[in-house]
Amino acid sequence: MLDNEEFMLDTYPRELTQNPLKKIWMPCRNGHIAQRRVCMTNCPTLIVTVGLPARGKTYISKKLTRYLNWIGVPTKEFNVGQYRRECLKIYKSFEFFRPDNEEGLKIRRQCATSALNDVRQYLSVEGGQVAVFDATNTTRERRGTIVKFAEQNGFKVFFVESVCEDPEVIAQNIVQVKLGSPDYIHCNSEEAIEDFMKRIKCYESSYQPLDEVLDRDLSYIKIMDVGRRYLVNRVVDHIQSRIVYYLMNIHITPRSIYLCRHGESDLNIKGRIGGDSGLSARGKEFAKHLRKFIQEQNIKDLKVWTSQMKRTIQTAECLGAPYEQWKSLNEIDAGVCEEMMYEEIQEHYPLEFALRDQDKYRYRYPKGESYEDLVQRLEPVIMELERQENILVICHQAVMRCLLAYFLDKTADELPYLNCPLHTVLKLTPVAYGCKVESVYLGVDSVNTHRDRPERM
Amino acid sequence: MSTVQENLTQTPLLKIWVPWMGCNVNRRRGSSVPQFCNSPTLIVMVGLPARGKTYISKKLTRYLNWIGVPTKMFNVGQYRREAVKIYKNFECSRKSLKGESHLTLDVLTSVFLIQVFDATNTTKERRAVIISFAKEKGYKVFFIESICDNPEIIAENIKQVKFGSPDYVDRDIDEAMEDFIQRIECYRANYIPIDDEKDRKLSYIKIFDVGSTYLVNRVQDHIQSRIVYYLMNIHVTPRSIYLSRHGESELNLLGRIGGDSGLSPRGLKYANALAAFIRSQKITDLKVWTSHMKRTIQTAEAVGVQYEQWKALNEIDAGVCEELTYEEIQENFPEEFALRDQDKYRYRYPKGESYEDLVHRLEPVIMELERQENVLVVCHQAVMRCLLAYFLDKPADELPYLRCPLHTVLKLTPIAYGCKVESFFLNIEAVNTHRERPVVSFHICHNRHLALPTISLWYINYV
C-alpha cells in the first residue's frame, strides 16, 4: 500500500530527499522518509487450483509461486495434501479418498480449513500478497466455500483449472512426481501406480469442472491439454493479467538451459567492474573450450543469446552459430562506479560502499542500477526463456545471479551472493517440481570476481 | 568449421558489436532488439459486422508497428467500396459476399512481417481459401474472432463507427441503423463461427463480449503470444490519458540535457498550475505516474494525489553526453552529433540509449496504460514522444521530432478508431527544448554555426 495516505493533510509540494540506498526521491517530513512499496494489487489475491489428481496443479502452483516471488510479489503456496500428510501420518491406500469414507472426508475438510486459516494469516497478518491454494477443489460446493472465505476476508479469487485426458501425459506425471511421494515410500512402482489410478477414480464421479455458464461470474483460467488451449474468464486486475500471461507461456517439453558468463575480460584482469572491454587471452581460450563443450553436448536446435556487450559477443562468435543480442542481458550499470576497482570505490565513495554491503539487492549505484532493477529488466528474458527449448545464455555475473535465482528459487537476500564464477557453465534441466543443476568448469584459469557477504560489524 | 572471429567492431549508429569480417555462418541482422519473427504471419479477423474487428485490427497494427514489427492492415470494406463505387443498399453486399473471394488476397506480400486481414471471413469456405493461400506462401495464420450478442454494445458500435462511414454519408440516422442491422442479418445466415472441435488444429483467439472471456487455441510462437497478451489487456471503457512533461528544470534553464535536477521557479509554478488544471477537469479515480527523476516527482507532488514512480519512465540516457549542452556535444563529439541527425530514432548515445531502446523499455508502461482508465503521466521529452507516437500512430521516422513542449498537457481520448488530442498550454513561460529535423546534409560539421541552426534561438543567444 502507498504509505503516503496522509497526503491530503500535508502542505505541498513537500520537500524531497533521495533515499541513500535505493536512490529514490521521497517526500521527507520532519526528516523522516516515507517508505513506499510499489504495489501491484490493492487487495490480496487467492489463487485456487482446480483439477483431478495428476493434472499438474502442484507443478503450476510451485512454478507460479516461484515466478511471483522473483518479480517481487510476496507469494506462498499452501498444499492441502501436505496438511493431510501431517494429520494422517501414515498413508495406507486409495481407500482414504473414497467418496463414501466419512472419516476420510472429515479429515480432508479439516485439512482444507486449516490450510485456509494459514492463508488468512499469511495474507492479512504477515503481509503476503498472493496465496496459492493447491488442492483438487473439484466440487462446486468446495469452491463456493472458498469464495465465501475470500469475500469475508477481502481477498480476490482467481481459479486455475487444469484439464487433461491424455493418458500418456497423466502416466508421465505419475512417474515423475507421484512415485517419489512420501505416500508411496513403501511401495514398488507398480503398486504405487495402481493405487494412484484408483485414487483418481475416487474424484472422477464428483468432479464438476468450471462451467462457462454456471461459473461465468468467477475469474479463472482453464488450461486444457497442457497448454494447447486456454479459456480465460473475467481477468480483473494487473496481477491476474500477468499470471495468465505467464501460465500461457510455460511448457513442459524436456529441454536444458545453459548459463555461463563471457570469457575473462581485460577489465576483469585489472580488477575493474563494468565497462565494455574485450576478452583476455584466457577468455578467448574459454570461448574455444565452450565451443567444444557445446558440440559434445549434442544439443538439438540450440539457441544462443548474448548481451550487447563486446565480451559476451566475442564469446559467442567463437561458437560459429547464429546468436541473438539482448540489451536486457547487459551487466548491471554501476553508474559513477563504472570501471573502478572495489578499493577505489571504497576510497572515493565510502558511504556507497557501506550501503551496498548493507542491502546488496536493493542498493542502487549512483546514476546506475540495483539488482532489483535488474530483475525488472530481465523479466521479459525470463518470459521468453520459458517459451524456448534448448538455449545457451552468455551473460554477466549480476545478470546470471538473477537468472539463476529465478530457476533455483533463491530469495532476494541470497541472490546477490550466488556463486557464478568465470569459465563455468551451469546446465539447468527442469525435473519434477524443480531444476537439476550441473556445474561444468571448463578448465581454463581466470580471476575470481566473487565477493562474499561481509561479516556483520 | 568456421575460423574464430577475433575482431569485432561497433557500428557507429546503433553501437552494436558485429564481426569485422563478414562470415556466412553469422548473418548479423544488426538490430538493437531481438527479432522474433522468422516467417510472416497472417492475422485473420472473423466475425459479424459491428463486432469490433476493424477497431481491433487498427489497434493491433498500431501496437505491433510501435514495438518494431512491420505490420500492415488490409480492410476489405475499403476494397469493396472502391469496387462498387456507390453503395445503394444492403442488396449490394449480398452480391459482394460472393465477389469477395477474388479480392485482396493478391495484395498481401511478404514485405510486412505481419499482415492483418480485416474482413468478416464468416464462412468456413472463406477461411479455407485463406489457409491454403497462406500455406502456399509459407505464412503462419492466426485467427481473431470477435463474438458478441449484446444488442446495446452492437448499437453503440454502429453509432460510433458506422455512421461516419462513407457508405452512410448521405443517410438519415434511423434509416442507416435499420439498413445496417439488415446487413448484419445478411451475414448471420451464413455465419459459421470457428469450431472448437473441427478447427482444433488452427491457431486462434475468440474474444467474447468485448473481453469478458477469451478462448485461446494453439499459440505457435512469441509474436502470437504477445498478440494474445495485448488483446487481453485492451478495453473499450471511455477514459482519458493526460501526458505532460515535468515542469521546467534547473538544467533546462542551463540548456543542458539529461541529469536529475529539480524544478526551476517557473517549473514550480507549472506544477501548481497543473494541479489546478487537473482539479478543474474533475476526473474520476485519476492515477498519477511519474519517473524516478526528481523533476517529475516534484511536479506530481503539487497535484496532491497519490502517485506511483516508474523507473521505466526515466528520460532517455544520454550516456557520455549527460548534462552537456548541444554545443558541447557538437564540439566534443562531432561524429556523434552528425550521426544523431542522420537517424535520430536508432541513434544510441555512447554508453546510453536510443529512442528504439526507449520504446522497448516503455512497452510494459503502454501495456499497463491499456489496462488502466484515467491516468496522468508526468514524464520527459523523449519518453513523451514515444508514448505519443504509440497513441497517434506515428512512424519511427517522425517520433523523435514530435512536439512535446514544456508546460503543456496533452489530453488523449480514444474515439472511434483513433485518438482525440487536446493540447493545453498552462500559460507559464518556459525554455524551448525542441530541435527540428535538420535540413543540412550529413557531413560531419566542424563549423558549429552550420550544424547548430536547428537549435532554438535561445541557445544561440546564450552562446
Burial of residue B132 (CB within 10 Å: 0-12, 13-18, 19+) is exposed
Q: Would residue A273 count as lying in a domain?
A: yes
Q: List chain A residues with CB under 8 Å of B218.
A: 228-229
Give the domain CATH number at A107: 3.40.50.300
Cβ of A255 under 8 Å from any chain B Cβ?
no
Contact A321 B25 (CB under 8 A): yes
Give the domain CATH number at A359: 3.40.50.1240
| CA–CA distance, A307 with A324 (Å, rounded to integer) | 8
Q: Would residue A236 count as lying in a domain?
A: yes
Q: Which of B8, B212, B219 has its CB closest to that of A248?
A: B219
Inter-helix orientation angle B222-233/B53-66, to 10°: 120
Q: Indicate if A414 belongs to the active site.
A: no
Contact B301 A318 (CB under 8 A): no
Q: Which of B16, B292, B306 has its CB closest to that of A25?
A: B292
Contact B5 A327 (CB under 8 A): no
Cβ contact B48:B91 at 8 Å: no
| CA–CA distance, A410 with A197 (Å, rounded to integer) | 35
Q: Indicate whether A199 and A337 sit together in one domain.
A: no
Per-residue pLDDT, B238: 93
Same-fold call for B35-231 versus B241-462:
yes
Q: Indicate whether A291 and A317 sit together in one domain.
A: yes
Among B273, B235, B210, B224, smallest CA distance to B424 is for B273
Q: Indicate whether A290 and A221 sit together in one domain.
A: no
Query: In a 3-state reduction of DSSP, which class is residue B73?
Result: strand
Burial of residue B432 (CB within 10 Å: 0-12, 13-18, 19+) is middle
Query: In a 3-state reduction of DSSP, which class is residue A252?
Result: coil
- Cα distances from B376 to residues B129, B240, B243, B364, in angstroms, run 46, 9, 6, 16
Q: Pick the residue with more confidence: B26 or A67?
A: A67
Contacts of residue A293, Cβ cutoff 8 Å, sequence gap at least 6:
A425, A440, A442
Q: Indicate whether A215 and A318 sit together in one domain.
A: no
Q: Which of A8, A234, A320 has its CB closest to that of B2?
A: A320
Q: Indicate whether A152 and A264 sit together in one domain.
A: no
Taking all residues of chain B, what is their mean pLDDT, rounded to a whole number?
Answer: 85
Q: Does residue A10 have a known ligand-binding role? A: no
- Residue-wise pLDDT tens digits, A171-206: 989 998 888 888 898 889 899 999 999 999 999 999
Q: Pick the residue with more confidence: B462 or B80?
A: B80
Q: Which CATH architecture has domain B241-462?
A: 3-Layer(aba) Sandwich (3.40)
Q: Which CATH architecture has domain B35-231?
A: 3-Layer(aba) Sandwich (3.40)
Burial of residue B79 (CB within 10 Å: 0-12, 13-18, 19+) is middle
Contact A12 B304 (CB under 8 A): yes
Cβ of A25 under 8 Å from any chain B Cβ?
yes
Q: Indicate whether A215 and A302 sit together in one domain.
A: no
* Catalytic positions of B, written as ranges: 246, 315
For residue A300, the distance in angstroms to the closest alpha carbon of chain B comes to 18
Render each residue's pLDDT in chain A as its tens digit; 457 residues: 344 444 445 566 677 888 888 888 888 765 444 443 444 457 999 999 999 999 999 999 999 999 999 999 999 999 999 999 998 888 888 999 999 999 999 999 999 999 999 999 999 999 999 999 999 999 999 999 999 999 999 999 999 999 999 999 999 899 988 888 888 988 898 999 999 999 999 999 999 999 999 999 999 999 999 999 999 999 999 999 999 999 999 999 999 999 999 999 999 999 999 999 999 999 999 999 999 999 999 999 999 999 999 999 999 999 989 999 999 999 999 999 999 999 999 999 999 999 999 999 999 999 999 999 999 999 999 999 999 999 999 999 999 999 999 999 999 999 999 999 999 999 999 998 999 999 999 999 999 999 999 986 5
The pTM for the full model equals 0.90
Q: Indicate whether A305 and A205 sit together in one domain.
A: no
Which cell goes with B244?
A: 505532460
Residue A191's region, left for phi above 0, alpha for psi from -120 to 50, else beta, is: alpha
Q: Indicate whether A393 and A324 sit together in one domain.
A: yes
Residue A325: domain span: 257-441
Q: Is 50 exceeded by the pLDDT of residue B92?
A: no
> Looking at A77, A161, A285, A331, which residue is catalytic?
A331
Q: Does residue A194 have a known ligand-binding role? A: no
What are the sequence ranges of the domains in chain B?
A: 35-231, 241-462
Q: Indicate whether A283 and A204 sit together in one domain.
A: no
Q: List chain A residues with CB under 8 Å of B351.
A: 276
Interface probe, candidates B147, B198, B311, chain A, greatest A C-beta count within 10 A: B311
Find the residue in B nearest to A23 (Cα).
Answer: B292
Find the residue in A nearest to B218 (Cα).
Answer: A228
Q: Indicate whether A280 and A215 sit together in one domain.
A: no
- Residue-wise pLDDT tens digits, A369-409: 999 999 999 999 999 999 999 999 999 999 999 999 999 99
Q: Would residue A333 count as lying in a domain?
A: yes
CB atoms within 10 A of CB B362: 22
Among A280, A315, A283, A268, smallest CA distance to A448 is for A268
Count of domains for chain A: 2
- Residue-wise pLDDT tens digits, B125-181: 999 999 999 999 889 999 999 999 998 888 888 887 776 667 767 777 788 888 888
Cβ of A339 under 8 Å from any chain B Cβ?
no
Q: Indicate whether A315 and A343 sit together in one domain.
A: yes
Q: Indicate whether A57 and A150 sit together in one domain.
A: yes
Q: Does residue A301 have a known ligand-binding role? A: no
